[in-house]
Structure formats: structure tokens, C-alpha cells
């Protein structure tokens, strides 16, 4: 009897144990096997380098892309060139200098260091991958370029920042490193540009050249040299060169000149297409675009047309007109003969303000009466593109047109091969003109004049026959006159290319420009094709010269990095 009970117990216990273990004997890997580890991505047997290429691609995503990037608006809407069509947009924090250490819509600190880490990760590991040596050489130089431009994106915002070289932190140490000086950062970026320039693709855009086909968009020798030229120009500028050390200007000039003389494949783009003159066509052409030195590539799209074209085209083409360029920008464009509109010789007629103007004007902003999608733009009060009962229509009487495709007579948008111009040849010419003009007097101004003349000629401004004038410019200018001419030419040639926001800072003119009142135009329709024009105030910029020339270092960097605690920029 007792035996039977024991047996039964053992049986039951066995049954129960079986129940418990039933599920436990199923087998799975104990650690996930699908994780792409270092040794898989950087594989010493990977001759094709598929993952290596993907690593390089990820670096390109760290390049600056300026299309409507701040809450849907371009950085230029924080300058005297444009305002947001909506009220109290986030970008007004920049336009009105409301930025603080913990509030800044253009805080790129983390993004830039993320790209730098990404580059260092690549550089530390790429050696083992046995791909074709030339490709690998290109890759490595491209990655170093992207790391260098990331530092430039930092120093134009914050001044000198900590340089970390090839260091990869592991997240457990206390990062305790002070800022390097602005000049040290400049030296680092320049030395990187010098070091890699020999290992990048040459700027050959011809039919079988290096920058054709699937290499379009790759970083080239020109990009490294253009970065160097721009960095040196910034370093020579009044903000960073308070004692006006002329050798800095000379260095900047020779860096720009080296491109002009050394990279002869680079030229101002001269191919017009459809309704677009060369000046506008260059922004939507990728193949054989010998002006483009480096652009941020995006898959062909109509995003910018939809965002920026006048709001009256919303019904069929969903256009929103989010940017309202100012009258001040429009007035900066000369007449067709190149003379400023304030010059009686310009032939400017305030009653017909858009006639006989610099051809670039109509391809930078939408003017009342310009053709778009088969009808004239109606920016007058109550017009289709400036309706009285609709919110978010233009505040200035203008919309931004720069970079848009050829849709003057089209019925709908089609995808555009557009890339955001990070560097283009016209900038190199303007950098050279500015640097050489500042570096000294005498033949320097002639050198500078030649650059402006080339740009104006391509723009379609008439050369004219008036003695002492070409393209509306005095052929013999003083250094100061030339400075004014160059600054205006930069403004109009490179409007909406994220130049002016930084230019007015490095020139140290933001205490004036950054506090100016911005204007728009009130256009009243008086007849079928007749209008009257009245300038109106639309907004007022705000800039505190005691602090706003640089951004505040983000608060989290001040608290988390002990070495930065006493290194906040002045005024913050």
C-alpha cells in the first residue's frame, strides 16, 4: 500500500516536472545573430566593400543642407532678405536674436559632433577592408572632408570649439576638454583640406570625367579647396580678424585664386534651358554642371516648389509660399544695365519697378506679373496670390523663387534634379574678389572688378558703353567702393544660399543690418495691367552686438563638460 503511494507520488512529480520543462527545452540563439558588428561591417575579406560604401554614404548625410531647414524656412528668412509668411514662426528666434544657451533653432552642436564621430569611426576601421585602393583613397579623403566641414559649421556658429582629432569616446568617461581657439580650428580645417586635396576626385565634368554619372555629388578636389578658401575668408573677416591682419586676406585670396588658376574645368555655368537663364538653370542641372563644386544631393522632388511657390497655386499644385522676400532684397538688385536703382542712370521707374532689372531678380523672387504655371503671379492686394481673407499669404508682396524649376508655362510640377549649393564657382570668384580687395590697394581692385564683371556678364547684365562703367560698375573703384559692390553682389548672387546670415556677422555689420526695419510692397491694382506700388514696413530685426555675433554654446555642453564651464560665449 505504502509503496503504491510512493510510486504514485513519483509519477505525479515526474508529470509536473515534465510540464515545467516542456517549454524550457526549446532552442533559440542566446544572443541575437542579426547584429551588424564592427567585424561584419569592416570585413577584411569584403572585396566589394558594400558596407564600407554604406558607411561613406552615411557621412554624406552629415553635409549641410540649407533648403528650408529651420522649421520649414531657409536661414535667410532670419536676415534682412526675407521673413516668414506666417507670424511668430520659430525662425524669428534667430531673426530677433532671442536665442539663449538652451533655446536656439539652429543649434547644430550635437549633429556636427555626431558626424565627426561617424567620420572617426570610419577612419579607425576602414583600413582592413580590401577594396580597390583608389576607391578607398577617395572614400577616406571624402570622409575627412566631411569631418572638416562639420567643424566649419560649428565654428561659424559658436567660435572655437573643442577639436577631438581622431578620438572616439566610449560614453563612460567624463569628457573634459576645453574649447580650442577659433584660429586653431581654422588651422585644423585648413590642414585637413590641404592633406586631402591630392586624394580626391579631380573636377572633371566632361562626358567621361570623374564627376559624371554615379559620381555626381561626390566630394572633389575643388570642394576641399573651396572649403579652405571660405574658411580662410571667414578667418580674415573683421569678426575674426579684429586687427585686420592683411596676411590673412592675402592667404584667403591665394586660396581662392588657387581654384581659379588650378582647376580650369570649373567655370561659371552658361547653359540656359527653356525659360531658365544659365543663372537659374544651374540649380536644377546635375549633369556636366561645371559651376557646382559640391551640392547636398536629394532625390529629384518638387518639395521646394510646393513649399515656396505662391500660395495661389495651392489648389492644383499645393504651393504654400512660406517665404516672403523683402523689398530690401529686391531693391538690392540693380537695373538691367547694372546700375543701382538709386542711380538716376539706372533708368529705374518706381511706377514700373520690375522692368529692366537684373535678370537674376526674377529668378530669385516671384514678382507680381511673372508667369508661373501658365498664369501671371497676382501678388497685388486681393490677387490670387495675395488674397485678403487667407492666412499665411505673403507679407511682403513677394515669394521666394530661387532654385525652382522651369514652370513658367507648365501646368504642374515635375521632379527637379536640384541640390543645395554648398560650394559653387561664383562663390569662389566672390571670395577671391573680396579677399584680394581687402588685401591691398592698386591692382587688387582691378582683380576684384574682373570677378564681379564675370559674374554680372553671366547674369545677363548688359556691359554698357558708358565710359568708366562696365556692367554698371565703375571700372576704377576705391577699396571701400569695391567692398560695397562686392557685398551687394554676394547678397544678390547668393541669396537664399545661407551666405548672408553669416556674411553680415563676419563683416560685423549685423549691429546695423540686424536691427533694420524690413519692408514689403503693397501693390494695388488700378486697371487691367496697371498697378501702384507703396512700400510698407513689415517687420523689425533685432540684434544685440554685445553677444549675438556668436551663438551661445548649448547649456547642456556647459554643464556636462567641466572644461567648458567658464567658456560660454560673451553675453550668454
Partner 1 sequence: MGLYSHIKMPGKMVCMLLGLSTISYNTQAQSKIKETDSLINQHPQIIKIKADSIAILYGQKSENKLNVAALGYLNGRALESTPNSFIFQGLTGRIAGLRTTQDSGIPGSDNVSLTLRGRSPAILVDGVPRDISELNPEQISSVTVLKDAISTVTLGQRSMNGAILITTRKGESNGPDYFNFNVKTQAGIQSPVVSRRYLNAFDYSTLYNEALANDGKAPLYTPADLQAYKDGSDPYLHPNVDWQKQIYKNNAGYSRTNLYADGKSKSLRYMLSMDYLDQGGLLNELDSNSYETNASYKRYILRSNINLQLTKTLEGYLNLYGRVNDTNAPAGGNLTAVTSELNITPNNAYPVYNPNGTLGGNINYSNNLWGRSTYNGYFQSLTREGFFDFGLKQSLDNLTKGLSIGGKLSFSSFTNLNTNRSKAFGVVNYSVDANGNPVYTTLSSANNQSNTSNVSASQQTSYAKFTANYNRRFNKNGITAFLTANSENYKNFVGDFLPRVLTNYAASLKYDFDKKYIIEGAAAYSGLNYYVDGQQYGFFPAVGLGWNINNEGFMKSVKFIDALKLRGSYGLTGSINAGNFDNQKGYVGGGNYPFGPSGSNLNSLVEGAIPFNNTWSQSLKTDVGLDASLLKNQLWVSFDYFLNKQSKLPITTGYDSGILGSTYPTSFIGKNDIKGIESEIGFTTNKTRKLVYSVAANFSTYQVKTIFNGEQTAGYQNLIRTGQYTNQNYGYIADGFVTTAGQGPVITGYASKPGDIKYKDLNGDNTIDYRDVTAIGKAKPIINYGLSSQFSYNKFCLSFLVQGLANTNEMLSGNTVFPFLNAPNGGISQAFPESLNRWTPQTANTATFPRLTIGGNPNNYAASSFWLRSTSYVRLKNIELGYNFSPKLLDKIKVKNIRLFVNGENLFTHSDFKIFDPEMPFSDYSILKVVNGGLSVTF
Question: Exactly one of 3, 44, 45, 57 binds partner 1 (CB under 8 A); which one?
Answer: 57
Where do the DSSP E strands lie in 382-434?
399-400, 419-424
Does residue 351 interact with partner 1 by CB under 8 A? no
Please report, as residue ranges, which positions from 453 to 512 form the binding site for partner 1 (by CB under 8 A).
none
CB of 263 to partner 1, least distance (A): 20
Q: For partner 1, which stretch binds (CB under 8 A), given 12-20, 134-142, 341-349, 465-473?
A: 12-20
Nearer to partner 1, 340 or 383 (CB): 383
Residue 25 in contact with partner 1, rule: CB under 8 A: no
Measure the CA–CA gap between 459 and 358, rounded to whole angstroms.
Answer: 8
Q: Does 157 bind partner 1 (CB under 8 A)?
A: no
Cα-based torsion angle of the residue sequence 32, 34, 36, 38 in order, rounded to the nearest 10 degrees: 50
By CB under 8 A, tell whether 220 contacts partner 1: no
- Report if residue 529 touches partner 1, rule: CB under 8 A: no
- Closest to partner 1 by CB, 125 vs 446, is 125
Neighbour-count burial for 308-345, b at 16+ CB within 10 Å, e otherwise: bbbbbbbeebebbbbbbbbbbbbbbbbbbbbbbbeeee
What SS3 string covers 508-529?
CCHHHHCCCEEEEEEEEECCCC
For helices 133-158 and 221-236, the axis angle rounded to 10 degrees is 20
- 173-181, 245-253, 263-271, 513-521 -> range binding partner 1 (CB under 8 A): 173-181
Closer of 55 and 506 to partner 1 (Cβ):
55
Q: Pick the binder of partner 1 from 35, 351, 467, 480 (CB under 8 A).
A: 35
> Three-class SS of residue 28?
coil
Q: Is 546 in the site for partner 1 (CB under 8 A)?
A: no
Q: In terms of CB distance, is 17 or 244 closer to partner 1? A: 17
DSSP letter (8 states) at residue 545: T
Cell of 185: 580650428
Stretch that binds partner 1, among 114-122, 180-188, 346-354, 363-371 (CB under 8 A): 114-122
CB closer to partner 1, 53 vs 270: 53
Please say whether the dihedral angle defined by the alpha carbons of residues 492, 495, 501 and 506, taken in this order, is positive or negative: negative
| DSSP 8-state symbol, 160 | S
The one-character DSSP state at 211 is T
Q: Is 156 helix (H, G, I), strand (E, B) or coil?
A: helix
Of the candidates 536, 567, 493, 572, the one whose C-alpha atom is nearest the C-alpha of residue 176 is 567
User: Residue 381 and residue 359: Cα distance in Å, rounded?
Assistant: 25
Q: Binding to partner 1 (CB under 8 A): which residues in 430-459? A: none
- Rounded Cα distance between 331 and 344, Å, is 14
CB atoms under 10 Å from CB of 34, counted, come to 5
User: Cβ closer to partner 1: 285 or 433?
Assistant: 285
> 366: number of CA atoms within 13 Å, CB side?
36
> Hey, which residues between 398 and 427 contact partner 1 (CB under 8 A)?
417
Q: What's the min distance (Å) between Cβ of 224 and partner 1?
A: 18
User: At which residue does the C-alpha cell 494695388 appear?
Assistant: 524
Q: Which stretch binds partner 1 (CB under 8 A): 229-237, 359-367, 448-456, 539-547?
A: 539-547
110 binds partner 1 (CB under 8 A): yes
Closest CA to 486 of 446, 421, 442, 431: 431
# residues near partner 1 by CB under 8 A: 108
Does 135 participate in binding partner 1 (rule CB under 8 A)? no
Binding to partner 1 in span 369-388, by CB under 8 A = 387-388
Residues 282-321 as x/- pattern, contact with partner 1 by CB under 8 A: ----xx---------xxxx----------x--xxx---xx
Please report whether residue 526 would count as binding partner 1 according to CB under 8 A.
Answer: no
535 binding partner 1? (CB under 8 A): no
51 or 533, CB closer to partner 1?
Answer: 51
Q: Is 201 in the site for partner 1 (CB under 8 A)?
A: no
166: contact with partner 1 by CB under 8 A: no
**Does 570 help bind partner 1 (rule: CB under 8 A)?**
no
Interstrand relation of 323-325 and 82-84 (parallel, antiparallel or unpaired): antiparallel
CA dihedral sign, ordered 364, 365, 366, 367: negative
Interaction of residue 207 with partner 1, rule CB under 8 A: no
Q: Is 390 in the site for partner 1 (CB under 8 A)?
A: yes
Terminal CA-CA length for the chain: 91
The residue (of 113 and 496) whose beta carbon lies closer to partner 1 is: 113
Alpha-carbon span 221 to 252, nearest angstrom: 17
Tell whether residue 87 is a contact of partner 1 (CB under 8 A): yes
Of 355 and 536, which has the nearer Cβ to partner 1? 536
According to CB under 8 A, which one of 68, 79, 104, 115 is a site residue for partner 1?
115
Amino acid at each position: 500500500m505504502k509503496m503504491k503511494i510512493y510510486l504514485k507520488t513519483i509519477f505525479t512529480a515526474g508529470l509536473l516536472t515534465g510540464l515545467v520543462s516542456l517549454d524550457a527545452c526549446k532552442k533559440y540563439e542566446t544572443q541575437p545573430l542579426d547584429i551588424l558588428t564592427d567585424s561584419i561591417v569592416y570585413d577584411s575579406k569584403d572585396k566589394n566593400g558594400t558596407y564600407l560604401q554604406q558607411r561613406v554614404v552615411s557621412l554624406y548625410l552629415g553635409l549641410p543642407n540649407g533648403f528650408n531647414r529651420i522649421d520649414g524656412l531657409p536661414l535667410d528668412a532670419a536676415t534682412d532678405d526675407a521673413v516668414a509668411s506666417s507670424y511668430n514662426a520659430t525662425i524669428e528666434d534667430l531673426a530677433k536674436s532671442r536665442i539663449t544657451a538652451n533655446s536656439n533653432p539652429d543649434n547644430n552642436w550635437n549633429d556636427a559632433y555626431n558626424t565627426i564621430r561617424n567620420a572617426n569611426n570610419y577612419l579607425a576601421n576602414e583600413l582592413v577592408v580590401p577594396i580597390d585602393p583608389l576607391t578607398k583613397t577617395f572614400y577616406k579623403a571624402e570622409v575627412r572632408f566631411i569631418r572638416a566641414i562639420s567643424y566649419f559649421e560649428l565654428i561659424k556658429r559658436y567660435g572655437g570649439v573643442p577639436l577631438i582629432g581622431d578620438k572616439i569616446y566610449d560614453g563612460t568617461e567624463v569628457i573634459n576638454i576645453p574649447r580650442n581657439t577659433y584660429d586653431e580650428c581654422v588651422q585644423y580645417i585648413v590642414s585637413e583640406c590641404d592633406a586631402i586635396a591630392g586624394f580626391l576626385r579631380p573636377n572633371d565634368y566632361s562626358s567621361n570625367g570623374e564627376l559624371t554619372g554615379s559620381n555626381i555629388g561626390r566630394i572633389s578636389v575643388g570642394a576641399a579647396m573651396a572649403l579652405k578658401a571660405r574658411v580662410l575668408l571667414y578667418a580674415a573677416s573683421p569678426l575674426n580678424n579684429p586687427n585686420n591682419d592683411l596676411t590673412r586676406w592675402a592667404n584667403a585670396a591665394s586660396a581662392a585664386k588657387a581654384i581659379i588658376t588650378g582647376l580650369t574645368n570649373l567655370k561659371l555655368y552658361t547653359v540656359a534651358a527653356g525659360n531658365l537663364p544659365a543663372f537659374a538653370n544651374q540649380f536644377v542641372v546635375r549633369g556636366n554642371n561645371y559651376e557646382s563644386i559640391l551640392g547636398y544631393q536629394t532625390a529629384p522632388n518638387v518639395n521646394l516648389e510646393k513649399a515656396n511657390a505662391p500660395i495661389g497655386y495651392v489648389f492644383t499644385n499645393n504651393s504654400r509660399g512660406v517665404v516672403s522676400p523683402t523689398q530690401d532684397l529686391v531693391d538690392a538688385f540693380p537695373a538691367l544695365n547694372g546700375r543701382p536703382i538709386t542711380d538716376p542712370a539706372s533708368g529705374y521707374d518706381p511706377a514700373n519697378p520690375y522692368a529692366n532689372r537684373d535678370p537674376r531678380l526674377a529668378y530669385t523672387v516671384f514678382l507680381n506679373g511673372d508667369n508661373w504655371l501658365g498664369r501671371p503671379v497676382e501678388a497685388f492686394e486681393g490677387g490670387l496670390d495675395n488674397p485678403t481673407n487667407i492666412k499665411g499669404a505673403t507679407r511682403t508682396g513677394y515669394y521666394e523663387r530661387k532654385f525652382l524649376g522651369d514652370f513658367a508655362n507648365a501646368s504642374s510640377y515635375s521632379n527637379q534634379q536640384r541640390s543645395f549649393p554648398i560650394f559653387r564657382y561664383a562663390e569662389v570668384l566672390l571670395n577671391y574678389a573680396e579677399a584680394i580687395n581687402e588685401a591691398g590697394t592698386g591692382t587688387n581692385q582691378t582683380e576684384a572688378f574682373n570677378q564681379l564683371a564675370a559674374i554680372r556678364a553671366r547674369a545677363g547684365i548688359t556691359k554698357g558703353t558708358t565710359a568708366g562703367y562696365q556692367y554698371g560698375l565703375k571700372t576704377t573703384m576705391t577699396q571701400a567702393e569695391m567692398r560695397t559692390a562686392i557685398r551687394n553682389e554676394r547678397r544678390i548672387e547668393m541669396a537664399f544660399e545661407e551666405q548672408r546670415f553669416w556674411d553680415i556677422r563676419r563683416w560685423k555689420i549685423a549691429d546695423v543690418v540686424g536691427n533694420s526695419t524690413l519692408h514689403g510692397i503693397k501693390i494695388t491694382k488700378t486697371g487691367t495691367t496697371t498697378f501702384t506700388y507703396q512700400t510698407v514696413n513689415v517687420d523689425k530685426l533685432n540684434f544685440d552686438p554685445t553677444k549675438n555675433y556668436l551663438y551661445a554654446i548649448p547649456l547642456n555642453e556647459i554643464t556636462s563638460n567641466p572644461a567648458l564651464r567658464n567658456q560660454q560665449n560673451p553675453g550668454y
